[in-house]
Structure 1
Amino acid sequence: MDLLQLRYFRMVAHAENVSRVAEELRVAQPSLSRTITRLEAELGVPLFDRQGRRLRLNRFGAAFLERVERALDELDGARRELADLAGPDQGSVAIGAENLIVVQHVVADFVQRYPGVRVQLFSGTAAQVAARLSAGEIDLGVVSKPLDIPGLAERKLLDEEVLLAVSLNHPLAHRDRVAVAELAEESFITTSADYWQRTLLDRVFCRAGLSPNIACEGDEPAAIRHLIATGLGIGLLPAMSRDYPGPPVSWLRIDDIHCRRTLHLVWRQDAYLPVAAQRFREMAAERFARDRPGDP
């Protein structure tokens, strides 16, 4: 067996979907399937239970995955540690976030200070960021939803109020604050339940004994403000959004002291953290401490 087989196996084992992994890797699905089949033949046992096109990791696969994870983590850690020893300013750092806008200023500062370091960015849900961390595909994650996963360390970057954004011609646009009960008939623009915005919206309404009316739900957090500005609906946005360029909207506070979000930087405790990632972690903490948004 070779390293490529093991890396492919790990990805398929986590996704339990050959088509999805093949698309992500940009390889032909039959080729990926043959790679897994050859690995199983070499090991002498099936690693997956197959039901039509669906795969499910079986007990052999689960046991093998545990060892593969350990072996690949050690090899990746050794490679990155050697890169640090050869020249800490020539390494790399990979970061995942639910919305890359939240790290744009830190990335800009980092690239300016360490131009020789290769920076990779990935966006996705908190669960996808966690999966990439677990697989060793990224060094750091920036998330707003708690990651209840053993072995992760975290540092709080920001605790901020979440505001209600409405279009400039909305009847509430002249208000400074609003009660949740007043929003019962409003149409909301939000994300899918995989993102923190939707989770928070549901919780805020649940505390008031209500359910939000969803007019638009998607997987593009950055598009919410633009859609709100068109008058399609209203939505929740973090206070820091006021500092980002975008179409003008009116900002209101919601009468719910729990309408807040906490931004965390997370990393694996059991994996080697490259010098570049350590430096990015410190720069992120410093930048967010310096740029904490004030109340409206």
Structure 2
Amino acid sequence: MSHPTIILVPAIIGDRPSNKSYSLLIQRRGFLMKIEALMTLQATLERGSFAAAAEAVNLSPSAVSLQIKQLETYFGQSLFDRSGRSVRPTRFATLLVNTVARTLADLENLRTQRYPSMSGRVRLGVTGSIQTTLLPRAVAELQKRAPGLTLQLERANTPEMLSSLKADRLDAAILVRPPGGGSARLYWKDLLCEPMVLVVPAHLESMEPADYLRRYPWIRLDRKLVVGRMAARFVDNLIPHCEALIDVPSADAIIAMIGLGLGVSVMPRLRKEHLAVYAVREVSLGPSAPTRQLSMVRRKQDSENILLRAVEEAFERACR
């Protein structure tokens, strides 16, 4: 009896190879089978189509189809009936998923509890907006995955945090990446990119962003902040010499002012809590909208530090 050979190869994240992680393959009789392909098959049966499964596993529909064909080659049996307009799973596909479901669940549990015995302290810089958005979710992830890791938080703006990093007063920071890309002396990990929006009182009639800014006072996010400078540059290009009613350093304070009908503002997208509490709504700025890139940054020599990797993964999961 021939025994399967287990091989590690560079993993595919989305449709591209990653140099940071690896994929488990089983080789037998000249055929290769990815463990991830079994997860894709499970997602296909649960979601009902290749397209829905593709979204669930972060692959293109063609990549999902390729993984299914690889499984069919490995097992020598069809997994889907393709004779009709829609594909239907065969009895063997259902049997295969039922057979490996427990194993896949156990593998996922091991993956999500990657750092159970880790302990140590990370000095982490954060911006004010991150404290009330991503930080609580990331801390919850760390409590599950690395309960022995302690965060020592410091709130500051982007220039202050970058200076503290270079001076070894911080280990890492979660911040808005400068439009120019940030210092090449540091290691950057992009977490979340989102377009900025115009926030207006909910009762106002619909109109173009420029018309809102012409008719109603502009409450400007403080230009000492990276995102404030991005917002001000956009408004200045849209409405040259537009005068601001007031400069405010807190996004939460601006939203409260808009809810009272005091004006409008260009700022990051709102949280669900904002929309539930304040009488405000978002207006799209279209394809020319500035984008806020949230990133984790640390010194290059610390790029593979296991404690910082745990923090990075917690924030990545929080962003999802």
Q: TM > 0.5 between the two?
A: yes
1:153 and 2:187 are equivalent in the alignment = yes
Q: Which residue of the other structure, out of 201, 214, 234, is the alignment partner of 1:184? A: 214
CA shift in 2, pair 1:202/1:229, >3 Å: same
1:220 and 2:220 are equivalent in the alignment = no
- SS for the counterpart of 1:225 is helix
- Tell me what 1:268 maps to: 299
Aligned-pair CA distance for 1:254: 1.9
| Cα distance in 1 for residues equivalent to 2:190 and 2:253 | 26
- Give the RMSD, CA atoms, in angstroms: 2.6
Q: Which residue of the other structure, out of 202, 227, 237, is the alignment partner of 1:197? A: 227
Residues 213-248 of structure 1 show CA distances to partners (whole Å, capped at 9, x for unaligned) of 312213223322122212222112322534656424
Q: Which residue of the other structure, out of 122, 132, 141, is the alignment partner of 1:93? A: 122
Native 8 Å contact 1:186 1:213 kept in 2 = no
- SS for the counterpart of 2:118 is helix
Structure 2 unaligned runs (5+)? 1-115
Q: Which residue of the other structure, out of 195, 198, 201, is the alignment partner of 1:164? A: 198
Aligned-pair CA distance for 1:268: 0.8
Aligned-pair CA distance for 1:88: 5.8
CA shift in 2, pair 1:250/1:223, >3 Å: same
| Cα distance in 2 for residues equivalent to 1:145 and 1:186 | 30
| Cα distance in 1 for residues equivalent to 2:250 and 2:156 | 9
- SS for the counterpart of 1:270 is helix
Structure 1 unaligned runs (5+)? 1-86, 291-296
- Tell me what 1:134 maps to: 166
- Tell me what 1:236 maps to: 266
Residues 33-56 of structure 1 show CA distances to partners (whole Å, capped at 9, x for unaligned) of xxxxxxxxxxxxxxxxxxxxxxxx
Choose 1 or 2 for highest CA Rg: 2
| Cα distance in 1 for residues equivalent to 2:210 and 2:316 | 33
Native 8 Å contact 1:190 1:218 kept in 2 = yes
CA shift in 2, pair 1:112/1:130, >3 Å: same
Give the share of equivalent positions with the same residue, in percent.
Answer: 19
- SS for the counterpart of 1:184 is helix
| Cα distance in 2 for residues equivalent to 1:198 and 1:272 | 29
Aligned-pair CA distance for 1:209: 4.9
TM-score (norm: length of structure 2): 0.55
Native 8 Å contact 1:96 1:138 kept in 2 = yes
- SS for the counterpart of 1:91 is strand
Aligned-pair CA distance for 1:282: 1.7
Residues 133-168 of structure 1 show CA distances to partners (whole Å, capped at 9, x for unaligned) of 112222221222416324111111111121111223
| Cα distance in 2 for residues equivalent to 1:122 and 1:246 | 28
- Tell me what 2:141 maps to: 109
- Tell me what 1:144 maps to: 176
| Cα distance in 2 for residues equivalent to 1:222 and 1:267 | 28
- Tell me what 1:31 maps to: none
1:251 and 2:251 are equivalent in the alignment = no
Native 8 Å contact 1:144 1:196 kept in 2 = yes
CA shift in 2, pair 1:272/1:165, >3 Å: closer
Native 8 Å contact 1:184 1:210 kept in 2 = no
Q: Which has the higher contact order (CA 8 A, sep 6+)?
A: 1
Native 8 Å contact 1:141 1:267 kept in 2 = yes
AA matched with 1:252: V
Aligned-pair CA distance for 1:201: 2.1
Aligned-pair CA distance for 1:189: 2.1
Residues 6-45 of structure 1 show CA distances to partners (whole Å, capped at 9, x for unaligned) of xxxxxxxxxxxxxxxxxxxxxxxxxxxxxxxxxxxxxxxx
| Cα distance in 1 for residues equivalent to 2:200 and 2:273 | 16
Moved more, 206-215 or 259-268: 206-215
| Cα distance in 2 for residues equivalent to 1:265 and 1:246 | 30
1:118 and 2:150 are equivalent in the alignment = yes
